[in-house]
Structure 1
Amino acid sequence: MKKLFSCSLATAVILLFNSCATNPVTGKRDINFVSEEQEVAMGLQADPAIVAQFGLVQNPTLQRFIQEKGSQMAAISHRPNLKYEFKIVDSPVLNAFAVPGGFVYFTRGIMAHFNSEAQFAGVLGHEIGHITARHSAQQQSKSTLAQVLLMGGMIASPTLAQYGNELSQGAGLLFLKFGRDDERQSDELGVEYSTKIGYDASHMADFFQTLQRQSQQSGQGEIPTFLSSHPNPGDRYNTVHQLADQWQKQTNATNLKEGRDSYLRMLEGLIYGEDPKQGFVENSIFYHPELKFQFPIPAGWQHQNSPQQVQMAPQDGKAMMFLRLAQGTSLEAAAQKMLTDNQLQAIESKQVTVNGLPALAVISQQAPQQQQQQQAQQQQAPPIQALSYFIQYGGNIYNITGVTAATDFNTYFPAFSATATNFRQLTDQEKINRKPEVVRIKTVKTPGTLQQVLQTYNVPSKRFDEMAILNGMQLTDRIAANTLIKVVEK
């Protein structure tokens, strides 16, 4: 047994030695089991799924802007040889992310909250930094090494082997997000890259205040430094300001650009918040104006809408429900494909109608896994159980499925059933014709505080704080005449 354990550790050491590569940013040797070719392949595989998940913003001006600035920045980065792609995806969430191989994505939500080209450029440099420093590739490599070491431990300890599946999942979770060190390094690269293409990187620090205020307004509160993979936004503000000063002195940079007005003008007409045509929630009811259906969301449940599906979950996280288009030419074929794809077995099925629409209701359970059969019954997690409705309407088959542990199925069955059986045609013309809110750029005519200026544009008082965050200002800030500001209108 000791010999086997020693061999497994030796294998890990050999893998570690042979898989070190020079980091393009630091020049140091890093553990890396992923080659550059594999990175590019990972990006090429992920990109279509990401675009399908969110959709792209139909705004040629902004899409051209992010591609031009991204290409300019990539050329002076530590990995200019990669073929980068930059895209704005159709999501109201404030987010930007990168995947290996040179693929960078910004949401329209974060684009709306930038208040200058310099703020945008700093975050763009941060995301390119994740790619150039190979953070995603290192993350994958750490996960691989963890599995190698875990296998060695399992060979050495039969007791540990009993929990191999749980430990494997835990090892993956350790590297699920970028660590604080990676985020700090990307902040440094964001300052470096944006400065090198002529932007004042201190404005990147200002955007961290916007993120902090948005987090507080949404009820998340301040993110504790030691409980988040991202550094505290307040800490990042101070650090980035210091880094910006250092890079400006180091490069003798002068006349660095902010680009406030030029950036704001590009936002004119950008959809803000949820786009009603993709579906929206009002009073716990989901409406889809284009496909003309509606259904209720259980009280207190969270929801997330994307072009592919609507997901719902209670606060305790013990259940999940989704609505998506089913695949198949008949209700039976659609049900069989869903069950097969998700390794479920039907235990009850019946033809029903849902508000006059033909439907098939199916109760199913997780199919037994052979590897689980070899373990003692008490060590297995409870199997999952699902209630699925397949509803034929408007030339489509819609699948509403609720999933939970079999032990909790009776608890969540009423919520699953109520949502599915209340799926119906949407006929309310006000909901069908609902228009999105869009960003409008206004030129201030009369100087005053931001609050006074917002009042002149008939902004409701309950949205003053929201508009202050959107503009990166305080309500008490003095606004000079001819200043551009953002408001939101239909």
Structure 2
Amino acid sequence: MRFRSDVAAALVLTCLAGCAVNPVTGSNDFVMMSEQDELSMGSQAYQQVLKQYPIYKDEKLRAYVQQVGEKVASNSHRSNLQYQFTVVDSADINAFALPGGYIFINRGLLAYLNSEAELAAVLGHEVGHVTARHSVRQQSQAQAWNILGQMVAIGTGVGAAGDLTNVVGGAVVRGYGRDMELEADGLGAQYLARSGYDPQAMIQVVEVLKAQDDFARDQAAKKGQPVKDSGYHGLFDTHPDNDTRLQQVVGPAHALQGAQQVVNKQVFLEHLEGLPIGDSADQGVRRDQQFYHADLDFTVTIPQGWELLNRPDALVMHTADKQAFIAMTMGEFDERLTPEEMLRKQVGDQRLAMEESFKQAGYPAVTAVIPGQPAKRVALIVKDKQVFMFVAAVKSRGSLESEDNQFLSVIHSFRALTKAELKLAQPAVIHVVTVKPGETLESLARTADLPEDKTARIRLLNGLYPAGEVKPGDMLKLVR
């Protein structure tokens, strides 16, 4: 296949303009932004993330994570960057990095780590993504594929060529991929060793995350449900258990380590004291089929068999097959408007049918249906100058009527908390104990504030899943 000469020349110029020395390997990488551009992009993305994900409020824990992160980053290939390590108030098992040194770790992942060395391994892995400029390289490849597609389309006169190239480019750069994840592991292990930690902690973190996958698989099998994705970087696509390549990339870091290897299990666990498991008080707490929010003073009932997705911007309930859902959001009420006028303002130009005004637990409320495909049930409840807005629908051209009774049951379950329910709105939290003679993991687990399979969940929380045991003197994370 022959390219027109002007297209070929443009490609050559693009490649020449996009070559930069990789700070890790010293080889030339194809990138299309300077380090200053990278820092600017990271700073903007950081502000966007903060708008979507709340920061965990425990300043002592946040300062500790920043301290450990800085220690690891100071021994990296890009120690000149100003790294920012942020703890996110989310129960999800995840951590991620933005360009320029902005690194996030969810409190949900912190809960399942068992030493400072493991924390350093997670942060070191994310620092590895930053130092190797993985996100920048992905961004540049995506831009290059788009440029190539445009030039091929111009050079050939075939507009579909651009679409085809975008598809190929998307397949090439989707996700970090196995090689970049392993490179980040290898780099993280180097940074661990240089910081005085055992690089084997990188393997231990993978085992912690693999246990999450095993636990989810076992729970799903018990309930006859499909297994959900693991979440953390698609980890188990890139890190099979006892993977040979993972051992190979971590192995060389052992030559860099000194005689002293920091673990700091006790210090780490002490910082986890009081850390919420699952939902936090700021986000609201689910207990069985009820959702409680102390700060906002409300509760709603979740339909039997439905799942709950508690997002920073919305509370979403949906059927197990995710075909029917109802989402609740919140905003300020405009006192110049009636609830009915406020609802019409919220839905914009969409037509409302079956509009009905009522009192919900003493609060002004209105509900209606937006006709269409799919039709939507909407509702608005005014409480203490706040608006609670509900939007519900059935996907895949399903009938609204098939789930409308469930939607209405959620809306009509909204009410203020009773005094007795204020305690239920408080989350279960980690409480660290020292195992005494005569105590067993099973006997201690029986006291845990957990919904089911308490012993298995306590094992998972402490890196002992599926069959680990404890002995007197061991420190153990319980949930109270």
- How far does residue 16 in structure 1 lie from its aligned partner after superposition? 2.8
Separation in structure 2 between the aligned mates of residue 326 and residue 452 of structure 1, nearest angstrom: 46
Q: 1:427 to 1:57 in 2, by over 3 A?
A: closer
After TM superposition, the structure 1 = structure 2 runs for residues 288-327 of structure 1, keeping only pairs within 5 Å, are 288-297=293-302, 300-317=305-322, 321-326=326-331
Contact 2:99 2:130 in 1 (8 A): yes
Give identity over the alignment, percent: 27
Q: 1:337 to 1:202 in 2, by over 3 A?
A: farther
Aligned residues: 460
Q: 1:288 to 1:167 in 2, by over 3 A?
A: farther
Structure 2 residue ranges without an equivalent (≥5): 218-226
Separation in structure 1 between the aligned mates of residue 189 and residue 465 of structure 2, nearest angstrom: 25
Pick one of 350, 355, 358 that aligns with 1:353. 358
- How far does residue 186 in structure 1 lie from its aligned partner after superposition? 0.6
Is residue 279 of structure 1 aligned with residue 278 of structure 2?
no
Q: What amino acid sits opposite 2:464 in the alignment? A: M
In the alignment, which residue of structure 2 is the partner of 1:363? 370
Q: Relative to structure 2, which stretch is displaced further, 52-61 or 147-156?
A: 147-156
In the alignment, which residue of structure 1 is the partner of 2:51? 52
In the alignment, which residue of structure 1 is the partner of 2:416? 426
After TM superposition, the structure 1 = structure 2 runs for residues 96-107 of structure 1, keeping only pairs within 5 Å, are 96-107=95-106
Separation in structure 2 between the aligned mates of residue 190 and residue 338 of structure 1, nearest angstrom: 48
Separation in structure 1 between the aligned mates of residue 427 and residue 160 of structure 2, nearest angstrom: 55
- How far does residue 39 in structure 1 lie from its aligned partner after superposition? 2.1
Q: 1:457 to 1:144 in 2, by over 3 A?
A: closer
In the alignment, which residue of structure 2 is the partner of 1:401? 391
In the alignment, which residue of structure 2 is the partner of 1:93? 92
Separation in structure 1 between the aligned mates of residue 109 and residue 150 of structure 2, nearest angstrom: 42
Q: 1:336 to 1:130 in 2, by over 3 A?
A: farther
Q: What amino acid sits opposite 1:36 in the alignment? A: E
**SS of residue paired to 1:271:** coil
TM-score normalized by structure 2? 0.82
**SS of residue paired to 1:353:** strand
Is residue 246 of structure 1 aligned with residue 252 of structure 2?
yes
Q: 1:423 to 1:479 in 2, by over 3 A?
A: closer
In the alignment, which residue of structure 2 is the partner of 1:473? 464
In the alignment, which residue of structure 2 is the partner of 1:160? 160
Pick one of 380, 388, 406 that aligns with 1:390. 380
After TM superposition, the structure 1 = structure 2 runs for residues 28-427 of structure 1, keeping only pairs within 5 Å, are 28-155=27-154, 156=156, 158=158, 160=160, 164=163, 172=170, 175-219=173-217, 220=227, 230-236=237-243, 239-248=245-254, 250-251=255-256, 253-297=258-302, 300-317=305-322, 321-326=326-331, 329=334, 330=337, 331=339, 338=346, 345-348=349-352, 350=355, 352-353=357-358, 355=360, 357-359=364-366, 361=368, 363=370, 386-402=376-392, 407-408=397-398, 410=400, 414=404, 417-418=407-408, 421-422=411-412, 424-427=414-417
In the alignment, which residue of structure 2 is the partner of 1:377? none
Contact 2:87 2:106 in 1 (8 A): yes
Q: Relative to structure 2, which stretch is displaced further, 304-313 or 265-274?
A: 304-313
- How far does residue 284 in structure 1 lie from its aligned partner after superposition? 3.9
Q: 1:29 to 1:218 in 2, by over 3 A?
A: same
- How far does residue 97 in structure 1 lie from its aligned partner after superposition? 1.0
Q: What amino acid sits opposite 2:209 in the alignment? A: L
Contact 2:276 2:427 in 1 (8 A): yes
Q: What amino acid sits opposite 1:393 in the alignment? A: K
- How far does residue 466 in structure 1 lie from its aligned partner after superposition? 0.9
- How far does residue 18 in structure 1 lie from its aligned partner after superposition? 1.2
Q: What amino acid sits opposite 2:128 in the alignment? A: G
- How far does residue 461 in structure 1 lie from its aligned partner after superposition? 8.2
Q: 1:107 to 1:457 in 2, by over 3 A?
A: closer
- How far does residue 455 in structure 1 lie from its aligned partner after superposition? 6.0
Structure 1 residue ranges without an equivalent (≥5): 366-382
> RMSD of aligned C-alpha atoms?
3.7
Contact 1:52 1:308 in 2 (8 A): no
In the alignment, which residue of structure 1 is the partner of 2:222? none
